[in-house]
A = this chain, B = another copy of it.
């Protein structure tokens, strides 16, 4: 068998779709764009686009991320955060019927970003917005009448759910939660990230003990801030550690 006989394989279109997550006003939100054309015209979808002919998958994802948000993706091996987002491959979706018109395989990527001012419209002027993931995933069940009542286009609800689940589990055993924070942040801000992503309430004292006691997780910058009100809090940057051992435990139920 010649697995590479150029006439022997069916042609596919390959796209990257992005699950871009952030934490806004105590809720986990995802970036959604409104489709301007069929199929699913007028419906919300995840941002994405075709992989170019000379482009790696991660490059295509980084390019789409810049186009949609202006965020530059970190090099995973680069120091801590500059002002970029964490970007990693999530999974690949290739059901033959996922796009009604042609065979499209989508390599979904997950991006975690700090709270951004506002999504900028894509170069093609599609509208874009941040929406709480709960609203994007549980549509139709609440009798809501607004524009978001329709489920996401294609299989994007599944992709989003997988991305959210990845984020939820990954902040347990890695320092990825800091990707949701600005370059300098307080322990309380980091705790609110965990609370928003997991949808739980954490004990501030035990959380503080845990994160400050894990070597390499946080490094104090020396500064303090009162932007959250109350007693001034120390500012930290993300330390070099990427894996938390032992992990942060997610409360049950």
Which residues of A are at the interface with B, using a C-beta cutoff of 8 A? 1-4, 6, 8-15, 37, 48-57, 89, 91-96, 99, 101-105, 107, 123-124
A–B Cβ pairs within 8 angstroms, 25 of them: A1-B124, A2-B37, A3-B49, A3-B50, A4-B99, A4-B104, A8-B50, A9-B13, A9-B14, A12-B12, A12-B13, A12-B14, A12-B51, A12-B105, A14-B14, A14-B105, A53-B103, A54-B96, A56-B96, A57-B92, A57-B94, A57-B105, A89-B91, A92-B92, A105-B105
Q: How many copies of the chain does the oligomer comprise? A: 2
Residues of B within 8 A of A104 (CB): 4
Q: What is the CA–CA distance of A9 and B13 in the complex, to the nearest angstrom?
A: 6
Smallest CB–CB gap between A35 and chain B, Å? 9
Measured CA separation A107–B90 after assembly (Å): 12
Q: How far is B10's CA from A192's CA once the two chains are assembled, in angstroms?
A: 43
Q: Secondary structure at chain A's binding surface: helix, strand, loop or mixed?
A: loop
A248 to chain B, nearest CB (A): 13
Distance to closest chain B CB from A49 (angstroms): 6
Within the assembled complex, what's the spacing in Å between the Cα atoms of A51 and B103?
Answer: 11
- Kindly list 14 other residue pairs between chains A and B, CB separation below 8 angstroms, not including A10-B51, A57-B95, A105-B107: A1-B49, A4-B99, A8-B50, A9-B13, A10-B52, A11-B11, A11-B12, A12-B14, A14-B14, A57-B93, A57-B94, A57-B105, A89-B92, A92-B92
Q: Which residue of B lies closest to A249 (CB)?
A: B246
Contacts A56-B96, A92-B92; A9 near B50 (Cβ below 8 A): yes
Which partner residue on chain B sits nearest A169 by CB separation?
Answer: B173
A52 to chain B, nearest CB (A): 7
A233 to chain B, nearest CB (A): 31
Residues in chain B near residue A53, CB distance under 8 A: 10, 96, 103
Q: What is the minimal beta-carbon distance from A243 to any residue of chain B, in angstroms?
A: 10
A99 to B9, alpha carbons, bound, how many Å? 14
- B96 near A55 with CB under 8 A, answer yes
Contacts of A48 in B (CB 8 A): 3
